[in-house]
Structure 1
Amino acid sequence: MNIKSLLLGSAVAAVAATGARAADAIIIAEPEPMEYVRICDVYGAGFFYIPGTETCLRIGGYLRYEMRYTDYADGGEYTFGKFSRFQLNVDARSETEWGTLRSYAEGRFDWNSQPVTGRDNVYLNQGFIELQQANGTVRLGKSDTPYARFLGYGSPFGPFDASYGFYNSGELSYTYNGGNGFSAVAALVEIAGNNKFDVGVEGGVNFAQGWGNVGAIAGYDTLAEEWGAKLVANGNFGAFTVGGHLFYSSGNGAVYNPAIATSHQNIYAINSGIFGRVLTSSEFSALVYAKAKVTDTLAIAGAFQWFDAEHGAIGVDHAWELTGGLDWTPVAGLRIRPEVQYGKIDTVLGTDDAWRATVRFDRSF
């Protein structure tokens, strides 16, 4: 009996201990369902929802490498330079009671091999906030100015060849979209290098349809008390695109250098890029361009621009530039653009010329 009692007591104790351990056991919760990144197709390709929010985000950019040879018109030695850039674009959008709230940032990391201008630059090229509604958009921040972007950059190569007029600065603008092809813009833009409340006042109109667009824009420099204007017409004919720009500037701006000059010049001056070293500045200029798509991956383009030299260029009568190049996309995401630019300038001493050759490689993502 004693042995049986002992065995029975041991079994009861073991069962009790097992129950106690079961009561103390840690229960592992079921894992939360994994939240995958959702595609946001409201604003176009490439957007996705930031997890846990209703904000759509797109991240993109490009890596560029460029080689450029320049033979200056003023008798200086030629230069050969290499240039590289990494640009990162971040575009965030969400719907609010006031419309679509957008923020856009464009950061650049630049390297330049040339001994005089060579430097490594890290800077914010564009950074602005927009409130977009059905009939209009308010933009606040740093951006390509309406004077540069609203009617196009004046070249089949995009901003690659935009050496005329005011280009990038802080702005407060409103763009009206009529929904029938008509649009208008009004803006205050910051005068770069100036710490006073002096601004450029800009306003323009545009009418665009499937065949192309026509428009006009003007800007007034409140510090220099000078102004500039552009008339633009572009036509689309299937694989063939043509365009023309007429420019006017009331005052000189070519000799302005913020590093050495104490006087301010007109920010809406028309300056020649290739003849910059002879300080060409125009009252009038005319530009025409054409671009033809040869295949699905290759296009050829050309542009011609004429400048008079009414302002500031002593002994200079007029100048012109001729640009030609290829736009080749051999595979998706890779763009190769060789370009040659040639120009002549008439002075009291006769004529002089200059030319520039560039090849640019862009890998976009």
Structure 2
Amino acid sequence: MKLVKSLLLGSAAGLAAVAGAQAADLPVKKAAPVEYVRVCSTYGAGFFYIPGTETCLRVGGRVRADYIYVEPEGPLGRVDDSIGFRTRGRIQLDARTATAYGLLRTFVRFEITRDTGAFNGVPGVVNTNPNVDQAFVQFGGLTAGRALTFFDNGDIDAQTMQGVRWSDQPNVNLLAYTFSFGNGFSASLSLEEGRYSGRAGLAGDVVGEGAGLIAGQRSPDVVANIRYAGTWGSAQLSGALHQLRAMPRVAVIGGVPGVVLDDTNYGFAVTGQFNFNLPMLGAGDNLWLAATYADGALGYLGFGGGNPIEALYDVNGDIETTKGWQVAGGIRHYWTPEIRQNVFASYAKVEYGSNAIAAPSDFNEWQVGTNILWSPVSGLTLGAEVQYINRDFDTAGVDNDDFWTARLRVQRDF
């Protein structure tokens, strides 16, 4: 047995030696290097390098749930929904690359909103709305795509749920360039899609002459601003030029036949918007103010959906623009690092021309509200808001609007 055991062990040792020699003669393939995701701290928290590139990417999003109660208006209020439910989901990507020509940035934000009840304004209707909220490219001073209008001061974060009457930072399709002068000063010139509150007065009846047509858009809204930003906050002065066009028509006006109606006019808007940090009151405290005057461009006051009408024909067949102005503001105070309160208000005035045909009533509107927001953990916000809205019409027999709303919100940002 000892002899057999010795022969087996010797054979195994010989085979192992031969195999080792052959393995030593084979080419050795190196393992592929493992590329780990690296944190990119250049642009703030949440960015990481896309493997194999020098591009930093941040993936974020939001889920928001809102619940609203709107006080019914008058005896016909039974027709309208008083409660409403809204759920909104958001996904966004922010990619940034440092180049020899400056920062190259691409940003895209998708939102899907599902509204029912009072959020729709039409009883029994469920509205699901997919939306490209923002999608733009920035390269140096160039901005192209869908982004915050350059009419507004992007530093203002009103943190209202319902919103008060002001331009309210809408996102629009645009092509813009920003000139930076240093020391916090800059100026921008932007070509933007038209912002409309309604031009029905240019397409409706003119003394029984029948309906006309709104003419096609020939010029974008031209927006320009000058801005200063410092440690105390920021200030921005902006202006916008807005084209009004209708199909040319011939009408009977004042008993005179063959009057050619004006088919092109221009409106404008100017605004001053200010954002102030208030560290003397508390960390994170803030005050904002916005004042705007518009002539034939009431969309820049925060109105939309065809009410009010931004221009009407007058008794001479000319386009007569509607004028209006607004002032809005709010203050934010942190009672604790987790609990903050916003108080906000706005006042707006709209006046139709004295010679405008079939003009609606002039009116003024004021809104006031407050909310309490609690963030028990980072990224989570629980809040409640109440708001009062009053609209007074100058024409006798036209009922004034006077109602309040209440809203609850649960929101998670990541």
Q: Scaled by the length of structure 1, what TM-score is found?
A: 0.79
Matches of 1:95 and 1:292, distance apart in 2: 37
Higher deviation after alignment, 296-305 or 106-115 = 106-115
Taking the TM superposition and a 5 Å limit, the aligned residue runs for 1:10-21 are none
Distance 1:278 1:39, change over 3 A: closer
Counterpart Cα distance in 2 of 1:195 and 1:87: 34
Residues 53, 214 of structure 1: alpha-carbon distance in 2 compared, 3 angstrom cutoff = closer
CA deviation after TM superposition for structure 1 residue 65, in Å = 0.8
The answer on whether the counterparts of 1:176 and 1:184 sit within 8 Å (CA) in structure 2 is yes
Matches within 5 A, 1:239-278: 239=282, 240-251=285-296, 253=298, 267-271=299-303
1:68 aligned onto 2:86: no
In structure 2, how many angstroms separate the alpha carbons of the residues matched to 1:179 and 1:247? 27
Amino acid of the residue matched to residue 110 of structure 1?
T
Q: Does 1:170 align with 2:178?
A: no
Residue from 255, 272, 297 that aligns with 2:338? 297
1:174-253 correspondence to structure 2 within 5 Å: 174-191=177-194, 196-223=217-244, 225-238=266-279, 239=282, 240-251=285-296, 253=298
Is 1:120 equivalent to 2:165 in the alignment? no
Aligned residue type for 2:130: V
Closer/same/farther in 2, CA of residues 232 and 61 from structure 1, 3 Å limit: same
Q: Which residue pairs with 1:257 in the alignment?
A: none
Unaligned runs of 5+ in 2: 1-9, 197-214, 246-265, 311-322, 354-358
In structure 1, list runs of 5 or more residues that go unmatched. Answer: 1-10, 254-266
For residue 277 of structure 2, give the secondary structure of its aligned residue in structure 1. strand
Aligned residue for 1:48?
A: 48
- The whole-number CA distance in structure 1 between the counterparts of 2:172 and 2:178 is 17
**Alignment correspondent of 1:3:** none
Q: Percent identity?
A: 27
Greater shift after overlay, 319-328 or 225-234?
Answer: 225-234
TM-score normalized by the length of structure 2: 0.71
Q: Of 87, 90, 93, which aligns to 1:90?
A: 93
1:364 matches 2:383: no
Q: Secondary structure at the match of 1:37?
A: coil
SS state at 2:103 partner:
strand
Quick one: structure 1 residues 277 and 191, their matched pair in 2 at CA, closer, same or farther if it must change by over 3 Å? closer
CA drift of 1:209 comes to 2.4
Identify the residue that residue 82 of structure 2 maps to in structure 1. 79
Kindly state the Cα deviation for residue 173 of structure 1 after the two structures are TM-superposed.
1.0
Cα gap change, 1:33/1:158 in structure 2, threshold over 3 Å: closer, same or farther?
farther
Aligned-residue RMSD, C-alpha = 3.3
User: Contact between 1:70 and 1:80, CA under 8 Å: does it hold in 2?
Assistant: yes
Shift of 1:72: 5.3
CA deviations over 1:70-126 (Å, ceiling 9, x no partner):
235575334211111111110111122221111000011221223735222222111
The question of whether the paired residues in 2 share the 8 Å contact of 1:271 and 1:280 is answered with no
Counterpart for residue 263 of structure 1: none
Residue 4 of structure 1 corresponds to none
Number of residue pairs the alignment of both structures matches:
332
Residue 60 of structure 2 corresponds to residue 57 of structure 1: no
Task: Tell me: CA distance 1:54–1:220, structure 2 relative to 1, closer, same or farther (3 Å).
Answer: same
**Farther off after superposition, 210-219 or 191-200:** 191-200
Alpha-carbon distance change, 20 to 61 in structure 1, aligned in 2, over 3 angstroms: closer
Query: Residue type matched to 1:145 in 2?
Result: T
In 2, distance between residues paired with 1:206 and 1:120? 38
Task: Give the equivalent residue in structure 1 for 2:348.
Answer: 307
Question: For residues 211 and 279 of structure 1, what CA distance do their matches in structure 2 show?
Answer: 37
> Structure 1's 104 and 197: CA in aligned 2 closer, same or farther, altered over 3 A?
farther
Q: Is the 8 A contact 2:166 2:328 kept in 1?
A: no
Q: Cα 1:95–1:195, aligned 2, differ >3 Å: closer, same or farther?
A: farther
Q: Compute the displacement of 1:269 (Å).
A: 4.7
8 Å Cα contact 1:66-1:82 kept in structure 2: yes
Q: Distance in 1 between matches of 2:237 and 2:303?
A: 19
Give the direction of change, closer, same or farther, for the CA distance of 1:277–1:337 in structure 2 (3 Å limit): farther
* Aligned-partner Cα distance in 2 for 1:317–1:303: 21
After superposition, the Cα gap between the structure-2 partners of 1:219 and 1:72, relative to the gap in structure 1 and judged at 3 Å, is farther
| C-alpha spacing 1:280/1:294, structure 2 compared with 1 (3 Å) | farther
Aligned-partner Cα distance in 1 for 2:309–2:155:
24
The offset of 1:241, in angstroms, is 2.4
